[in-house]
Amino acid sequence: MIEVRNVTKTYGSTRVLDDVSLTIVPGGVTSIIGANGAGKSTLLSIIGRLLPADSGRVTVDGLDVTTTPGATLAKRLAVLRQENHTSIRLSVRELVAFGRFPHSRGRLTAADLATVDEAIAYFELEEFADRQLDQLSGGQRQRAHVAAVLCQDTDYVLLDEPLNNLDMRHSVQMMRRLRRMARDFAKTVVLVVHDINFASCHSDEVIAMRDGGVVAQGPTAELMTPELLSTVFDLDIAVHDIDGNRIGVYYS
Amino acid sequence: MSPSTGRRWEVRERHLALAVLLLVPAAFASLFVGAGELSPLDLLRADSGAALLLLESRLPRLLAILLAGTAMSVAGLVMMHITRNRFVSPSTAGTTESAVLGVFVATAFLGAESVMVKMVVALGFALLGTLFFLWVLRRLTFADVIVVPLVGIMLGGVITAVTTFFAYRADLLQSLSAWTNGDFSSVLRGRYELLWLTAAVTVGCYLYANRFTVAGVGRDFAVNLGVHYDRVVNLGLFLVSATTAAVVVTVGNIPFIGLVVPNLVTLLLGDNLRRVLPVTALAGAAFVLACDVVGRVVRHPYEIPVETVAGVVGSVVFLLLVLRVRRVAG
Ligand SMILES: Nc1ncnc2c1ncn2[C@@H]1O[C@H](COP(=O)(O)OP(=O)(O)OP(=O)(O)O)[C@@H](O)[C@H]1O
Ligand SMILES: [Mg+2]
């Protein structure tokens, strides 16, 4: 269980997160939606202990993320930022293999290597496995980073816009994989998504944010309403039932 | 094991073999080149003078070269990871110059006699100088890959100027040049053994290789994997400073090696430290050895210090590397 209690974050005089409290129950996919600058990445980074909060507390299965030893937490919680620029020259396989670091401490067992190979295969990276990261396209690099995080095989996985740069097919494959992880292995997946329809089709729960606060949280179907979506995004969004999914239409 | 993993191993071993292949003849040549005549045949003739020359001078010199070359290039490799800039090395971050200042202070003001004391003081100064450089970097708005080492070189220049001023006042310019100009000609048995410390440091770097690589990818990546980022960076700075101090105290500064060797090796093999560290170590040893042999042969029977040879070769390669970055980026 992820528990966020009264978390506040301020940059200068701007309050980016204003007294946010929420609970994410284990086992399931939760999507965080909201406009640019709503505070989604800030919240996710604080939960993933990449960023310190000014005040408040975050616990994961009762472990305070700021005080639990990093090595302990790394076996339970994995987090990927929105931007993952690095100038280091590693091959895709090397990067993905580092995902096993919390478990292997650098000594990869046969099982570790099998996990790495499986992730590389699932994200269709075999062809580039021995290529340096800086010789990949944006979407290929994104897939490599997500593969590394998933190799960590943690109970909690936090992903900030994992669909960044991905084409439709790879987006769908990634969402299917996350859903399967949640369903078959009781993993808790929290992601920030901009495409509300991916959020709608693949998540169990949605958290809607606006101006540093949580506007609504609940089962996906309940939140996919024109009223809520238009308050969150300041945009007229029609919602239709198509093939059993709630689909938002806002293109024209 | 998958086929591609197998191929990776092959690449690694081939490069290691190549480095060893370069190193062995150079090492052999080094033993038998110098002002005093010495050939392998002399040793067979049970000539006690030849054996003495070998044991007292040539062998210590060879070991000092191998140790210093290995340690400085590995230090450069680690530094480039923890600062996440491939042009930051002990020669381009004020580390070496601070170490020289440290030895000078230990000798002139603290009256230190033992190399151990000198080294510890040099280590302290090297660490402080490097931390100051990193502090400046954080305040730099225009932290371009190439501007960063130039700032480091400038900082080193300022520190050297300070050292020179005080050395001049204290009438110690002569001793100062022993630390600024790396030179193996005065290495004798009993005067280089401190360098074995750098071998321990190099082993330490190898044990921490994965952590340095993880830190090199970025802070968030490291934190996510449960690696204590700040601790790893600080440990790296400490190891780099220790190596630099030991080398400066025993043989003097060998410029640019910590920059040139790791850059060339990682250009070929990528940045995974575990994988490239052994190759870098061997290549560094070979590079210094080659510089030393060249310095001994060019004006035989006189010697050109290794600092000069390494400085010329190193600065040319540095320039080429900088131009390459410009080309790739532009
Ligand atoms: N380092 C920083 N310094 C100052 N302000 C910041 C900093 N990082 C973020 N902000 C501000 O905090 C607010 C929330 O940022 P955050 O990255 O959490 O938004 P987001 O919801 O993830 O947006 P996006 O959809 O664009 O990714 C923004 O207004 C942003 O300008
Ligand atoms: Mg964001």
Looking at the domain assignment, is residue A82 inside a domain?
no
Residues A172 and A242 in one domain: yes
- Among residues of chain A, what percentage have pLDDT more than 70? 100
Same-domain check for residues A146 and A159: no
User: Quick one: A67 and A173 in the same domain?
Assistant: yes
Chain B residues in contact with A78 by the CB 8 A cut-off are 224
Average pLDDT of the residues in A4-15: 93
Q: Which residues of chain B are within 8 Å of residue A99 when distances are taken between CB atoms?
A: 225
Q: Where are the beta strands (DSSP E) in A61-204?
A: 63-64, 77-80, 156-160, 188-192
pLDDT at residue B19 tops 80: no
Contact B1 A91 (CB under 8 A): no
CA torsion sign for B10, B12, B13, B17 is: positive
Q: Are B225 and A98 in contact (CB under 8 A)?
A: yes
Residue type, A151: C
CA A79 to ligand 2 center in whole angstroms:
13
Q: How confident is the model at residue B41 (pLDDT cuts 50, 70, 90)?
A: low
- Do residue A141 and residue A235 come from a single domain? no
Give dist(CA B101, CA A156) in Å, integer.
51
- Nearest partner of B309 among B325, B323, B300, B298, judged by Cα: B298
- Strand A2-11 to strand A156-160: parallel, antiparallel, or no bridges (unpaired)? unpaired
Which of B8, B227, B271 minimises the CB distance to A89? B271
Same domain, A70 and A106: no
Return the top range by mean pLDDT from A43-47, B117-121, B293-297: A43-47
Q: Is residue A10 part of a domain?
A: yes
* Mean pLDDT, rounded, for B312-325: 86
- The answer to whether residues A22 and A206 touch, using CB atoms and an 8 Å cutoff, is no
What residues of A are in contact with residue B146 (Cβ under 8 Å)? none
Which of A153, A175, A193 lies at the terminal end of a domain, its last residue?
A153
Neighbour order of strands in the sheet with A77-80: A77-80, A156-160, A188-192, A28-34, A205-210, A213-219
Of residues A204, A196, A236, the one with CA closest to residue A221: A204
CATH of the domain at A47: 3.40.50.300
Q: Could you give the number of structural domains in chain A?
A: 2
Looking at the structure, do residues A46 and A126 belong to the same domain, yes or no?
A: no
Q: Which of A9, A31, A42 to mutate to test the pocket of ligand 1 (most atoms within 8 A of CB)?
A: A42
Q: Give residue B294's pLDDT.
A: 85
Q: What local confidence, expressed as pLDDT, does residue A101 receive?
A: 93
Asked whether residue B1 carries a pLDDT value surpassing 50, the answer given is no
Nearest chain A CA: its distance from B218 CA (Å): 7
Q: Which atom of ligand 1 is nearest to the CA of A38?
A: 21
Residue in B1, B220, B228 nearest the CB of A81: B220
Domain containing residue A22: 2-76+154-249
CB of A159 sitting under 6 A from ligand 1: no
Give B316→chain A minimum CA distance, Å. 24
Look at ligand 1, atom 9, and give the residue with the nearest C-alpha: A42
Residues A163 and A121 in one domain: no
Q: Which amino acid is at A169?
A: R
Chain B nearest C-alpha distance from A24 (Å)? 20
Q: Report pLDDT for B36.
A: 62
Flag whether pLDDT at B306 surpasses 80.
Answer: yes
Which of A134, A153, A172 is a domain's end point? A153
Say yes or no: CB of residue A42 within 6 Å of ligand 1. yes
Does residue B3 have a cis bond before it (omega within 30 degrees)? no
Neighbours of A184 (CB within 10 A): 8
Confidence at A198, pLDDT banded by 50, 70, 90: very high
Residue B44: the pLDDT is 64
> Do the Cβ atoms of B84 and A87 come within 8 Å?
yes
Q: Please state the atom number of ligand 1 nearest to the C-alpha of residue A209.
A: 21
- How confident is the prediction for chain B on average, in pLDDT? 84
CB burial readout B135-160, b (16+ within 10 A) else e: ebbeeeeeeebeebbebbbebbeebb
Domain boundaries, chain B: 74-329
Locate the ligand 1 atom nearest the alpha carbon of residue A35 and give its number: 25
Beta carbons of B81 and A88 less than 8 Å apart: yes
Q: Is B200 exposed, middle or buried (0-12, 13-18, 19+ CB in 10 A)?
A: middle
- List Cα–Cα distances, B88 to A159, A187, B75, B116, B252, in angstroms: 33, 42, 11, 27, 20
pLDDT at B59 over 90: no
The ligand minimizing its distance to the Cα of A36 is: 1
Mean pLDDT, residues A20-25: 94
Average pLDDT over chain A, rounded to an integer: 92
Q: Is A38 a residue whose pLDDT tops 60?
A: yes
pTM of the entire structure?
0.89
B263 Cα: distance to centroid of ligand 2 (angstroms): 35
CB contact under 8 A, B218 and A86: yes
The residue that leads in pLDDT, B227 or B14, is B227
Reported confidence tier of residue A34, pLDDT bands at 50, 70, 90: very high
**Residue of B299 and B83 predicted with greater confidence:** B83
CA-based end-to-end distance of chain A: 40
Interface test with A, best of B8, B83, B221 (most A CBs within 10 A): B221
pLDDT the model gives residue B203: 94
A213 in the same domain as A189? yes
* Pocket of ligand 1 contains residue A16 by CB under 6 Å: yes
Question: From the list B84, B223, B266, which residue is nearest A49 (CB)?
Answer: B223
pLDDT digits (tens, 9 = 90+) for A123-171: 889 899 999 998 899 999 999 999 999 999 999 999 999 998 999 999 9
Helices within B140-193 (DSSP H only): 147-169, 173-180
- From the list A70, A78, A85, the residue facing B227 with the nearest CB is A70
pLDDT > 90 in chain B, percent:
36
This model of the complex carries an ipTM of 0.91
Does residue A147 share a domain with residue A167? no
Residue A146 CB less than 6 A away from ligand 1: no
Mean pLDDT of B267-271: 88
pLDDT at B156: 92
Residue A145 and residue A183 in one domain: no
Contact A30, A218 (CB under 8 A): no
CA distances from B157 to B97, B124, B179, B257 (A): 8, 19, 15, 18
| pLDDT score of B5 more than 70 | no
Q: Both A149 and A163 in a single domain? A: no
Last residue of a domain, one of A110, A132, A153: A153
Q: Which ligand is nearest to the CA of A20?
A: 1
Percent of chain B with pLDDT strictly greater than 70: 90
In this model, does residue B293 exceed pLDDT 80? yes
Per-residue pLDDT tens over the stretch B147-173: 888 889 999 999 999 999 988 888 888
Tell whether A83 is covered by a domain: no
The verdict on a CB contact (< 8 Å) between B224 and A78 is yes
Q: What is the pLDDT of residues A94-125, one digit of tens each?
A: 999 999 999 988 788 888 899 999 899 888 89
Residues of B in contact with A49 (CB under 8 A): 223
Q: What is the pLDDT of residue A107?
A: 82
Pairwise CA distance, residues A44 & A143, whole Å: 19
Residues of chain B neighbouring A129 (CB-CB closer than 8 A): 4
pLDDT at res. B9: 46
Q: Average the pLDDT over B136-143 and give the result.
A: 80
Q: Is the pLDDT of residue A44 over 90?
A: yes
Distance from Cα A206 to the centre of ligand 1, integer Å: 20
A50 close to B (CB below 8 A): yes
Percent of all residues in chain A with a pLDDT value above 90, rounded to a whole number: 68
Closest CA to B250 of B50, B65, B13: B65
Q: What is the pLDDT of residues B100-126, one digit of tens each?
A: 999 988 888 887 778 888 889 999 999
Q: Specify the ligand 1 atom closest to the Cα of A12.
A: 4
The structure tokens listed for A91 are 């091959």
| pLDDT tier for residue B8 given thresholds of 50, 70 and 90 | very low
**Given an 8 Å threshold on Cβ–Cβ distance, is A81 in contact with B270?**
no
Say yes or no: A62 and A124 in one domain: no
Choose between A72 and A244: higher pLDDT: A72
A45 CA closest ligand 1 atom index: 18
Amino acid occupying residue B61: R
- Residue that wins the pLDDT comparison between B296 and B199: B199
Query: What CATH code is assigned to B74-329?
Result: 1.10.3470.10
Report how far Cα A157 is from the mean position of its chain's Cα atoms.
6
Residue B42: what pLDDT?
Answer: 65
A8 CA distance to ligand 1 middle (Å)? 13
pLDDT of residue B46: 62
Cβ-contact A141, A133 below 8 angstroms? yes
Give the residue with greater pLDDT, B41 vs A54: A54
Q: Which range is least confidently modeled, A199-213, B111-125, B203-217?
A: B111-125
